[in-house]
Every structure is written in C-alpha cells, then in structure tokens.
Amino acid sequence: MKKVAVLFSGKGTNFAHIVKTLHKQECEVVFALTNNPNAEGIAIAQEYAIPYGVVEPKNFDSREAYDAVLVETLKRYSPDLTVLAGFMRILTPTFTEQVKAINLHPSLLPRHKGLNAIEKSYEDVYDEGGVSVHYVSSELDGGEVILQKSIAKKELSFEAYDKEIRAIEKEALREAIMLVLKEGK
C-alpha cells in the first residue's frame, strides 16, 4: 500500500477527509505534520493513531533550515507522496527539490496565487471559480496543475461560494492523491 504524509496548519478538515476516505483503503497515512502547535488537525491524527509532529518555524534562523528539518522528518516515514492540505508555508528548494508533494489551492490557477484566493476569486471578472491541485515547486502555487474543479459563481453569495469551494476542494484533493499514486509520477 502506498504511503502518504500530510502537512496542515489549521482545522485539518482536508486532512480529516483524506483519513476518512483514503487511509487504510487506498493508501496509508503514515505521518502528519503541522507548523502550528494549536492546530485542530492534531486531534484528527490522535483519533486515528497516526504519528504526527509539530515543527514550529519560529525555532529556526531561516526558511531553509526549517525546510531541512521537514525533509529529514518526512524521510523517516518514507512517504510515496506528501500532501499539503492547508499547510500555510512557502517552501524553499531545500524542500521542493527533495520531496514529492502536491498542494491544494482554492482558485483556478494560475489565477489568485497566495493568500485570500477564495475572496479574490469571488470578486474577479470570471463567471466561475474553483480549486486546483498542483505539484509543489519553489514558486508559490506555481507547480504543474494535476487537476481543477470549477463552480459557477452566478447568483451565489460569498458565503455560499465559500461553502461550495470548501466542498469541492476535498474531492479534488482526494482525486489528485489517487491519480498521482496510480501514475507513480
């Protein structure tokens, strides 16, 4: 069974979806890591007895030093794929050149890279918005897109749009994980 590591920073809702729909079925989540000691996703790792770690950026002198520790930590678990599921860090080549990773982003890339993508997407001139799953590169939200899912924005309030985005991102992430693991890229 293919092994997956998941990195998250907050509530862990996408991490939870991965665990509930894929763990010990299509792949094994062998490790979870967060940069936030107060991340709610830690409880998910505990509930499912998934080994996890907390590595706080404030304890490092540089982004590269932080990323080197991430890489060494992940290597202990030998994941076939690392999934960034709401991991709020820009990673350096120290990480991106050594770890096969994918990232979920809540816009149709290349539109709206970086923070506040849902808000920016909702307010832009396009009729539809959506989510992208892409390979992680050292360029912010700039790696090759694996798949995208879109929704029509017409007549949706921001709250309804946000809810739709959060619903489709879970399925997009699940599908992309399966696609990448099957392709073995």
Residues forming the active site: 105
- Judged by DSSP in three states, 26 sits in coil
CA 54 to each of CA 94, 111, 113: distance values in angstroms, whole numbers, following the listed order: 19, 31, 26
DSSP strand E in the chain: where?
A: 3-8, 28-34, 52-54, 81-84, 101-105, 128-135, 145-152
Side chain identity at residue 42, one-letter code: I
